[in-house]
Chain A
């Protein structure tokens, strides 16, 4: 099992992201921040409705 796990780990290491990629080095981190902020805003909004702070119904 240990050998099998090591083999799998080795295979993962060979499937890496390209170096100096605009997509992975620039765009993806920006997407993480934007998606995180939008998600957070929607959660806060929902909690506002559930607690009655935002009149929704």
Chain B
């Protein structure tokens, strides 16, 4: 097994610890933001675990898990968590409901799509060979783009916006840096996904590990003990984002 194929094991471990700490926070605060973050991070972790598994053996179930959770759904779910932190509005709940329905429909599409398992080769990263496993032109191959774009806008946009609000007021420097780390981490894996489609699939595992470390580090930094944010008017000041 190449060094590259070991990286998803490390990503899985980081995401497992990250997911547990986010779910613990949800159990204490009952904020839906942490529920969506936790589910999204769990999906990220499952995707990494499936990558690690597929480095050792073929499994159609693991391939579907990798695609559905690792490539399609997780950015939108994590981003939805950020949306809940930023805006305490009714439309966010409606958007969450839409996300759940669309995610179930997408899962149905992925489960129904035919696989070409004979194209799988052990020892090659799954990100380098998935294009031959999904049939050419299959609609399932397009699914990561709308979910990824939504995740990009909500997660990265939300983190930059949160960081900017704190920076403009010149307060809570730990949250300024923490949110920047979250944004850079998310952009790292988004860039890795684009590179994968351009034929540089071996870079994906590196960018995923960078994303896992930066996002968890950013979360810890933003959540570092310090003054609590001022009462919010229900809008943007939830900028404490991950630490709330």
A positions within 8 Å CB-CB of B: 5, 8-9, 11-18, 24, 28-29, 31-32, 35-36, 38-39, 42-43, 45-47, 49-50, 56-57
The interface bits of chain B over 116-159 (1 if a CB of A lies within 8 angstroms of the residue's CB, else 0) are 00000000000000000000110001100110110011001100
Write the chain A residue with the least CB distance to B193. Answer: A42
- Give bound CA distance, A39 to B146, whole Å: 15
Residues of B with C-beta under 8 A to A8: 227-231
Chain B residues bordering chain A, tally (CB within 8 A): 36
Instruction: Determine if B171 is an interface residue (Cβ-Cβ < 8 Å).
Output: yes
The number of A-B residue pairs with CB atoms under 8 Å apart is 92
Q: Whole-angstrom distance from the CB of B145 to the nearest CB of chain A?
A: 5
A43 and B153 in contact, given A15-B171, A38-B187 (Cβ under 8 angstroms): yes
List 29 interface pairs A-B (beta carbons < 8 Å), by A numbering.
A5-B231, A8-B227, A8-B230, A9-B230, A11-B228, A12-B230, A15-B173, A17-B167, A17-B173, A24-B167, A28-B163, A29-B167, A32-B160, A32-B164, A35-B160, A35-B183, A35-B184, A35-B187, A36-B160, A39-B152, A39-B153, A39-B160, A39-B187, A42-B149, A42-B194, A43-B153, A46-B145, A47-B149, A57-B137
Interface pair A43/B152, CB less than 8 Å apart: yes
Question: Main SS of the interface on chain B?
Answer: helix
State in angstroms the CA–CA spacing of A56 and B187 once bound together: 20
Chain B nearest CB, measured from A55 CB (Å): 11
Chain B, Cβ-Cβ closest to A39:
B156
Residues from chain A with Cβ under 8 Å of B184 in the complex: 35
A27 to chain B, nearest CB (A): 10
The residue from B142, B152, B171, B191 contacting A16, defined by CB atoms under 8 A apart: B171
On whether A32 and B227 interact (CB within 8 A), knowing A12-B172, A46-B152, the answer reads no
Known contacts A12-B230, A29-B167, A50-B142; 11 additional CB pairs below 8 A are A11-B227, A12-B171, A15-B171, A18-B173, A32-B167, A39-B153, A42-B149, A42-B187, A43-B152, A56-B145, A57-B136
B153 → A minimal CB distance (Å): 7
Q: Is B145 a contact of A50 with CB atoms below 8 Å?
A: yes
When distances are taken between beta carbons in the complex, the residues of chain A under 8 Å from B172 are: 12, 15
Complex: chain B residue closest to A2, CB-CB:
B231
